[in-house]
Amino acid sequence: MEKVEDQNPQQEEDQVVNPWEVSAKDGGKIDYDKLIDKFGCQRLDQSFVDRVQRLTSRPPHVFLRRGVFFAHRDFNDILDAYERGQKFYLYTGRGPSSEALHLGHLIPFMFTKYLQDAFKVPLVIQLTDDEKCMWKNLSVEESQRLARENAKDIIACGFDISKTFIFSDFDYVGGAFYKNMVKVAKCVTYNKVVGIFGFTGEDHIGKVSFPPVQAVPSFPSSFPHLFSGKDDLRCLIPCAIDQDPYFRKTRDVAPRIGYHKPALIESLFFPALQGETGKMSASDPNSAIYVTDSAKDIKYKVNKHAFTGGQETIEKHRQYGANLEVDIPIKYLNFFLEDDAELEHIKKAYGAGRMLTGEVKKRLIEVLTEIVERHRRARAAVTDEMVDAFMAVRPLPNMFD
Amino acid sequence: MAFSKDQLLDRLKELQIEFSLYEHPVVLTVEAQAKYVGNLGGALSKNLFLKDKKHRYYVVSALADTKVDLKVLSQRLGLGKGGLRMAAEEALVEILKVPLGCVTPFAVVNESARHVSLLLDQGFKTQEYCFFHPLSNDMSISLNAHGLDKFLKSIGRDPSYVDLEANPPVGKDQPPDLAAFVPSDAPILSDLPVKAPTQDSTGKHVSAASNSAAVAAKAVKPSGNAQNVKEKPVNTVQPSIPAADAGNFVEELLDRASALLLSEISEDSIKQHSGQLGAEVANNIKKCLREDLKNLATIFKNTAYTEGFYAGTRYQPKRL
């Protein structure tokens, strides 16, 4: 059902990256430079990171420092406007296809929370329960239920309820939101949408008419209860880079209907435990660390299933050092170990063979366990009433404070 | 202040739960009850009021025919082999507010039974209707499991059914499957407003505090409390809103700060920094705790907002 954007996939691209498929060339690593070139987005270099630090008066998030969020479109415009005193709002989302969330799922939300705190801006979070109902063939009730369950994990990431609106498509589509959907839909021909999403004559019409649903949260007029009178407000979308083709289309359409193009800030893919070439799959619990994993599970998974770049024997390891390019514990630490100095030290020592795989894994287990533990405590504090409050169509008078 | 059987029956009617009422002389056992309502087609229930070594209480409600092995149940709850025994009669009266021979799932309606865990036999679901005492043993009511669910939901309980006869292995790699039913440590007599089935932000802080004070990145060893607390999202209570308790919140902050403080001050660090130790420790505390405390504060804020929101949606405008 999901196809590549280009019609001749294998000849031109060795790697495939689109909202439904991500694979590297010949089982190797994803070439992100090539990706940026091909997609036409921009690299987020150090000058951006410094600028963010200056503008927000706080240390930049670990994902920025480590190049996890590494590409963007028009982020400089957002920062320019911000410097002039013009705020923006954040838009991110999740397709609630399963209850089990793993750390990879949390990454865009962790980063978005940082952005909300650092820039003091509001956030809308879209739960595309309709999309999953259609694509994964779930019942309406089940997809709505999953949306609410996922909302709890999302809330547990620490979003500020006075600045955050979470909505599910089944609940919210209609009114001003729907008007924008129709405006967008009028700008995209059937042929175009087939070209981008690879629909065939056998696909049902629900799928064909879905794309505008994910596009219009980029426009402030879709949320009259929040942004009424602020048609000029810009939107920043933190997402993984596989979403780029999607929002590229939205950016095309925006000026045609009189709106600002949404800006994007894009992240790397989070590798599976078994390595970059492995696929993180909901059916293989050992391919990822889940937010419901116990300390024991985490220890087991990292020790038994993490793909490492260590050498086969201790002697060889002391001599040659570890291959940091493929080592998963190092990659995971790159995402989650806050202390830059400590990470540098570990990389040096491990790469030179002075530190053993077991020690690196042990540190990783500590870091992951703390994150999962913190998440679980926060998650336990989320009640159904809190979800209702986050999802209520209500004004957010303090959203820029 | 105990719920009376009349109040219960009224509540059932209010909720439009179908039930039939049978009066009979006081009965103390299932056999005796069977004499009066045994031939009416429904299934009789046997109800046990149990207690574990940490003074936590459980009501186990099963079909009369279901075999309930306390040893197995104890293991499945994660209480070890001999962890469960019948509760004392005084506890029956004080906590469930029912007399001897009258244990019934309906007893959890009482405020005093808030922490009592309820285990229901999945066999109830296969029966058209089942008999229970409605807080008094001179009557029995028969109702369908759905009716029982409706009632339990109305008092904020999550009705969950268990295969009481199952005997799954419990070991290193197979955690006790019923561990979620163990209430978090909170005897009614304590001052702490920690509730078992509800997820308090306060409850969070208290058990988190007792659980791990050290903020330094150490793997947290789940104590019995934390275990339940983590399992809780499944059993979140509906109408009862957890309180954003400023006192507990502050205690949690202070616990973390003092734990970190203690860990920062050691013979070595005193030698290393001597006069500057104060400034050094203060800086470290700020650095380490900043994000953690902000997260706690956000949870507190969200909880308080939710309380207000909930109240606001049920606000009755002034009459003109």
CATH number of domain containing A339: 1.10.240.10
Contact call for A376 and B230, based on CB within 8 A: yes
Residue B226 is predicted with a pLDDT of: 35
A378 and B295 in contact by Cβ < 8 A? Answer: yes
Q: What is the Cα–Cα distance from B258 to B54, expressed in whole angstroms?
A: 28
Across the interface, of A380, A388, A389, the residue whose CB is closest to B230 is A380
Predicted confidence (pLDDT) at residue B185 exceeds the cutoff of 70: no
Q: Which of A286, A383, A394 to mutate to test the interface with B (most CBs of B within 10 A)?
A: A383
DSSP annotation of A7 reads S
Contact A389, A163 (CB under 8 A): no
Which stretch, A15-29, A264-278, A345-359, B76-90, has highest mean pLDDT? A345-359
B interface residues, A as partner, C-beta within 8 Å = 175, 199-201, 204, 208, 217-222, 229-230, 232-233, 236-238, 241-242, 292, 294-295, 298-299, 301-303, 305-306, 309-310
Q: Any chain B CB within 8 A of the CB of A58?
A: no
Find tokens 């660090």 and name the residue: B269
By C-alpha distance, which of B205, B201, B220 is closest to B256? B205
**B219 to A365: CB separation less than 8 angstroms, yes or no:** yes
Q: Are residues A103 and A169 in the same domain?
A: yes
pLDDT of residue A21: 67
Among the partner-chain residues B221, B229, B306, the one whose CB lies closest to the CB of A383 is B306
Confidence of residue A375 (pLDDT cuts 50, 70, 90): very high
Query: Which two three-digit tokens encode residue A14?
Result: 């060795």
What pLDDT, on the 0 to 100 scale, is given for residue B237? 35
C-beta atoms of A378 and B208 within 8 A: no
Q: What is the pLDDT of residue B197?
A: 37
Which residues in chain A (144-203) have CB-CB distances under 8 A to chain B?
Answer: 152, 155, 158-162
pLDDT given at position A12: 41
Report residue A15 as tokens: 């790697």
Helix ranges (H only) for chain B are 5-14, 30-37, 70-76, 89-91, 145-154, 201-211, 224-231, 246-264, 267-273, 277-313
Partner-chain residue, chosen from A117, A373, A379, that has the shortest CB–CB distance to B220? A373
Whether residue A345 is found in the same domain as residue A255: no
**Residue-range definition of the domain harbouring residue A362:** 281-381
How many residues are listed for chain A in this entry? 401
Structure confidence at residue A14 (pLDDT): 67
Max intra-chain CA distance, chain B:
85
Chain A / chain B CB contacts < 8 angstroms: 89
The structural domain count of chain A equals 2
Cα–Cα distance measured from residue A147 to residue A128, given in angstroms and rounded to the nearest whole number: 8
Provide mean pLDDT across the span A120-143. Answer: 95
Give burial (CB, 10 Å; 0-12/13-18/19+) of A67: middle
- Specify whether A290 is located in the same domain as A198: no
Instruction: Please tell me whether the overall predicted TM-score, pTM, comes out greater than 0.90 for this model.
Output: no
A109 found inside a domain: yes
* Chain centre distance of CA A157: 13
- CA dihedral sign, ordered A231, A234, A239, A245: positive
Examine the fold and report which residue of A269, A291, A315 is the final residue of a domain before the chain moves on. Answer: A269
The answer to whether the CB atoms of A389 and B303 lie below 8 A apart is: no
Closest CA relative to residue A323, chosen from A342, A344, A304, A350: A350
Which residue in B has a C-alpha nearest to residue A294's C-alpha? B222
Between chains, do A389 and B306 touch, taking CB under 8 Å as contact?
yes
Beta carbons of A218 and A249 less than 8 angstroms apart: no
Cβ <8 Å between B199 and A369: no
- Check A388 against B309: CB less than 8 A apart: yes
**Does the pLDDT of residue B257 top 60, yes or no?**
yes
Mean pLDDT over A294-313 rounds to: 92
Q: Are residues A203 and A319 in the same domain?
A: no
Q: Which pLDDT score, from 0 to 100, does residue B320 have?
A: 74
Pick the more confident residue, A286 or A156.
Answer: A156
**Model pLDDT, residue A181:** 97
Comparing A93-107, A208-222, A266-280, A304-318, the range with the smallest average pLDDT is A266-280
User: Is pLDDT above 80 for B195?
Assistant: no
Mean pLDDT, chain A, whole residue set:
90
Are B292 and A374 inside 8 Å of each other by CB?
Answer: yes
| Angle, CA of A400, A243 and A175, to the nearest 5° | 55
Query: How many Å apart are CA A94 and CA B159, to the nearest integer?
Result: 30
Do residues A181 and A125 both lie within one domain?
Answer: yes
Confidence check: pLDDT of B193 > 70: no
The tokens of A21 are what? 């498929």
Q: What is the predicted pLDDT for the residue at B231? A: 37
Q: What are phi and psi for residue A372, nearest 5 degrees?
A: -65, -40
Structural domain contains residue A329:
yes
pLDDT in tens, B89-110: 888 888 888 888 888 988 888 8
pLDDT per residue as tens digits for the range B45-57: 889 899 888 788 8
Which A residues, 260 through 319, put their C-beta within 8 Å of a C-beta on chain B? 294-295, 299
Closest listed residue to residue A310, CA positions, set A329, A319, A323:
A323
Specify whether A222 is located in the same domain as A319.
no
A398 within a domain of the structure (yes/no): no
Question: If you average pLDDT over residues A284-297, what whole number do you get?
Answer: 90
Residue A245 sits in the same domain as residue A174: yes
Residue A315 buriedness (CB in 10 A; 0-12 / 13-18 / 19+): exposed
Is residue A64 domain-shared with residue A172, that is, in the same domain? yes
Cα separation of A369 and A375, whole Å?
Answer: 10
* Residue B35: predicted pLDDT: 83
Give A383→chain B minimum CA distance, Å. 7
For B167: left if phi > 0, alpha if psi spans -120 to 50, otherwise beta; the answer is beta
Let me know: does B230 contact A290? Beta carbons within 8 Å: no
Look at residues A273, A384, A393 and name the one whose alpha carbon lies nearest to residue A330: A273
A135 and A247 within one domain:
yes
Question: Residue A202 carries which DSSP code?
Answer: T
A8-65 pLDDT, tens digit per residue, is 344 345 677 766 666 776 666 788 888 899 889 999 999 999 999 999 999 999 999 9
Position B25 scores a pLDDT of 86
Q: Is the pLDDT of residue A128 over 90?
A: yes
Q: Which two tokens stand for residue A198?
A: 């690879």
The DSSP call for residue B318 is P
Instruction: Tell whether A383 lies on the interface with B, counting CB pairs under 8 A.
Output: yes
Q: For residue B264, what pLDDT band results from cuts at 50, 70 and 90?
A: confident
Domains within chain B, CATH numbers bracketed: 5-181 (3.90.960.10), 246-307 (no CATH)
Task: Report yes or no on A391 lying in a domain.
Answer: no
User: Cβ separation of A378 and B305 shorter than 8 Å?
Assistant: no
Say which range, A184-193, A218-227, A363-372, B311-320, has the weakest mean pLDDT.
B311-320
Q: Which residue of B has its CA nearest to A394?
A: B309
CATH code assigned at A105:
3.40.50.620
| Same-domain pairing of A260 and A299 | no
Q: Which residues of A touch B221 (CB under 8 A)?
A: 295
Q: For residue A378, list chain B residues with Cβ-Cβ distance below 8 A.
A: 295, 299
pLDDT tier at B215, thresholds 50, 70, 90 = very low
Please indicate if any CB of chain B lies within 8 Å of the CB of A377.
Answer: yes
Which one of B157, B202, B298, B301 would you mutate to disrupt binding with A, by most A Cβ within 10 Å of its Cβ? B298
Classify residue A18: in a domain, yes or no. Answer: no
Q: Assess whether A109 and A228 both reside in one domain.
A: yes
